Amino acid sequence: MSQENVELVKRGYAVLNDAYRTGDLLALRQFTEQTFDPNVVFKPSGLLPESAEVVGHDGAMQFVAAQMEAFETMLLEPRKFTDVGTRLVVPVRLGGLARHEAEALEAVGLSEQDAHAEP
C-alpha cells in the first residue's frame, strides 16, 4: 500500500474522530463520498452497538450516527499502520463514555461512582 493511501486512512480517522467530537457528520459524509465506492461494505467487528454490516455511503453514516447515539463521547485512536500488501492493518484504541451508562450500572446494582472507583 502506498504512503499516500496510509495518509488517506490517517486523515479518515481524524475526520471520523472530529465527527464524534462535534456531532457533525457533514465533513465525514464528504470524505466518505470522495473516498469510498458508492457500494462500499462496512463489516464492524461486533464489539460496538449497532454492529451489523452496512452498505454504501448512507449505511456508513447511519452506522456512525448510531454510535453517536450510544456514546456521549467516543474516540478511535489508531495505534499503528502496518502495510501488508494490498491491505492496511490498523489496531485501534477505543475509548468513550456510554450515553446510558448510569442505567446499565443501576441494573446491576452499581452507581457511576462505583464504576469509576480505583480497585
Query: What are the domain boundaries of the chain?
Result: 3-116
pLDDT in tens, 89-111: 999 998 888 887 777 777 777 77
* C-alpha span between 30 and 39 (Å, rounded): 15
**Per CATH, which fold does 3-116 belong to?**
Nuclear Transport Factor 2; Chain: A, (3.10.450)
Cβ contact 62:56 at 8 Å: no
pLDDT at 114: 66
Sign of CA dihedral 42, 36, 19, 61: negative
Taking the CA atoms of 100, 106, 109 and 114 in sequence, report the sign of the dihedral they define: positive
Could you tell me the three cell numbers for 116? 469509576
Give pLDDT < 70 ranges for the chain.
1, 48-50, 112-119
Q: Are 48 and 65 in contact (CB under 8 A)?
A: no
Calpha distance 41→57 (Å, rounded): 9
